[in-house]
A = this chain, B = another copy of it.
Amino acid sequence: MTQPVRHDAMRARNLELVLGEISRGGPVTRAALAERTGLTKSTVSTLVGALLEAGFLAEQAAVRAGERGRPGVEVSLSGARLASLGLEINVDYLAACVLDLTSTVRRAVRLERDNRREPASEVLRAVAELAASTLAEARELGLTVAGAVLAVSGPVRDGVVLSAPNLGWQNVPVVLDLPLPVSVDNEANLGALGELWFGAGSADFLYVSGEIGIGAGLVVGSRLFRGTGGLAGELGHVLVSPAGPACRCGAVGCLETYAGQEAMLAAAGVGTVDEFAAALAGEDAAALSAAAAAGEALGLALASAVNLMDVDRVVLGGVFGRLFRWLAPAAEAVLTARLGSLRGSVPVLSPSALGDSAATLGAAGRTVHRVLADPAPFLS
């Protein structure tokens, strides 16, 4: 028995199959592609031709020692034509990066800027300006940017930043005046995807973004867990103590009030993260005790997260990544005390591999993944 499949849908599926094989397996001949995908050689040739023409692929002569016969021509992903733009608005900086289709960073810009001083509309205007100048640079490199994703440090639903207390934003619709499709997502979600694709992530882990605010993104089976309405991962507002200090979110005793950047700096009696890191490196007592207290609070909130979401790896990003060796021991001690006997194991903590770039890379990576997963709309 057989079933008919519509030609367009079949072509889209086969394009995805061929492109997926090339992007995962690396340079490959048309003959080997036909073998691996089960498609006929002539179908593979047609599809590869279309992908070459659209700039997805490049061709090169393969010279392999020890193989008999003429060397075949191999095709591989091309970074020459298609690209994607990642953008980020954080509390104290704006960032942009351009990834080509081979996931190579072609441009990365970071602009230190206190985004709390201005209304949301001004900050959005500034990020659009940064995006426009980055797009112009991409054009000069011969790149066509397929789409942009913007990371914002607060919960996002349907293109609206519901609340970013650290930016002073409430229900801000994100509209950027740019000549390409732009979507917006939470900074910690995109940081998790950044670490998954390019950094310290694995198929299952919790990414924690420590900045002025604290967020988290859970990856299960290589997919982001978003919860019912897309707002999962608000680790910064998980309870550490019902008798704790007031949080900007309106609650008390949230993790952010203990381990947010400002709380840590205040406890250490320093003004900047650089000063904090220097004081820690110099074994300053106040700094060490501030880091231990923040690590302990982080451990308490993470223990609740592990109990609820069953996590066995945690990647600490942002400031937490930078201060990892001072925060992690206290956090690990709390995790062991709270989880060891019930679960028989304690999640492994590791520092981010991408630092402050995680969210911007994840944002840019989203479009690369989207284009590779469904190339048909980008072919003429």
Contacts and interface: CB of A to CB of B under 8 A. Distances in A.
Interface of A: 1-5, 7, 10, 155, 162-163, 165, 171, 204, 216, 220, 225-235, 237-243, 249-251, 300-301, 303-305, 307-312, 337-344
A230 B338 contact: no
A1 B234 CA distance: 48
Contacts of A163: 341-344
Contacts of A309: 227-228, 232, 308-309
Nearest to A236: B307
Contact of A300 (B3, B242, B303, B308): B242
A1 B249 CA distance: 57
Contact of A2 (B3, B171, B229, B241): B3
B239 A240 contact: yes
5 contacts: A2-B4, A232-B308, A249-B342, A250-B338, A309-B309
Given A5-B3, A308-B309, A342-B165, A220 B231 contact: no
Given A231-B310, A232-B309, A250-B337, A240 B238 contact: no
Please tell me how many copies of the chain the complex holds. Answer: 2
Closest 8 pairs (CB-CB, A-B): A227-B310, A250-B341, A234-B307, A251-B338, A232-B310, A204-B228, A231-B310, A2-B2
A237 B303 CA distance: 9
A101 to B, nearest CB: 27
A204 B238 CA distance: 21
